[in-house]
Structure 1
């Protein structure tokens, strides 16, 4: 079954992202596996969080405060197949990187936060405000509930975009053998602030 349009869109957006070029260095293999990965991630987001789309152009996946991604969630989303679909070497790199995310992030985001898990805008549509428009509803919800928002990015060029949305760099990790990444947080804005 072909992946949904949004999975293909996110796959194009992340094809050359440092996270996925690290996990799967071969471009042709990345082109084949990323639509599966993002279809599973979208399923996970729909089951455990929130997914918003601009059909055929962009999608965002948020995980709300308190979300647990245990074995059941991985199984239901299809991500439990990652060792097979990615292959042993790529899966080992995936685990190394995501483990580094978890170690570095815990002291940064605490226990109550919205995780901007994935935001992908088709390369042909980037720079048009679509991503900002898609994340705005959860940012407003987090502000109203006085909750933190958190994300990781492996692309330095993304920092300015997220800073315009109110995120600040909360950490920068440069572990040997891994791509560098930034952790960003967005403190809730008060209702009387513009």
Structure 2
């Protein structure tokens, strides 16, 4: 599938937030972090905004030229900086101080994130709901995976649904160790992809 992709800039922040908010409204992990439909609709976009800000500053965001999908990537060194969870606490304080799950999800995924080898980290990918299932997400991820293959660099992500896990498996990702079961919540799948020759 031919999908034109561009690098997002500061002027794309609101687009990215809208895409992520719409794409993850019914996601099992978002529903766990923000239980209750009304609460999620009122608050979820704030967390997506915090994520967009972090990645715009420290990583990169790819957006399709038709503005229907975005992917948030970070370049992780072999020994990433460990702030003791302070960053997750700051996100919680900025987004919704009363919601401990905002900080908890960061700590839990941080605990399973692999160390010791530099890699590209797909933090999130959001496809507008009316375009999901058309191959847009796979094409968006595929462009970075091609670069990873050329550079001999692995990639990592956490799948937040069985549907997304299936897509990532088709792209060459495999379960890293074991699934991450959120307390009284859904399952996530930490997934690793070695570069292809």
| Contact 1:15-1:31 within 8 A present in 2 as well | yes
- Distance in structure 2 (CA, Å) of the matches to 1:51 and 1:118: 10
Query: Displacement, 1:159?
Result: 1.4
- Distance in structure 2 (CA, Å) of the matches to 1:40 and 1:173: 23
Q: Between Structure 1 and Structure 2, which shows a larger proportion of helix residues? A: 1
- Three-state SS of the structure 2 residue aligned to 1:62 is strand
- Distance in structure 2 (CA, Å) of the matches to 1:85 and 1:111: 31
- Distance in structure 2 (CA, Å) of the matches to 1:117 and 1:104: 14
Point out where structure 1 has 5 or more consecutive residues left out of the alignment. Answer: none
Query: Displacement, 1:81?
Result: 4.9
Does 1:24 pair with 2:34?
yes
2:103 is matched with which residue: 76, 84, 95? 95
**What's the counterpart of residue 113 of structure 1?**
119
* 1:1-194 pair list within 5 angstroms: 4-54=14-64, 55-66=66-77, 68=81, 80-88=90-98, 90=99, 92-106=100-114, 110-170=116-176, 171-174=178-181, 176-190=183-197
Q: What TM-score results when the alignment is normalised by the length of structure 1? A: 0.81
Point out where structure 2 has 5 or more consecutive residues left out of the alignment. Answer: 1-12
Aligned residues: 180
| Contact 1:44-1:74 within 8 A present in 2 as well | no
Give the root-mean-square deviation of aligned CA atoms: 2.5
Residues 44-53 or 96-105, more deviating: 96-105
- Distance in structure 2 (CA, Å) of the matches to 1:143 and 1:122: 27
CA shift in 2, pair 1:44/1:84, >3 Å: closer
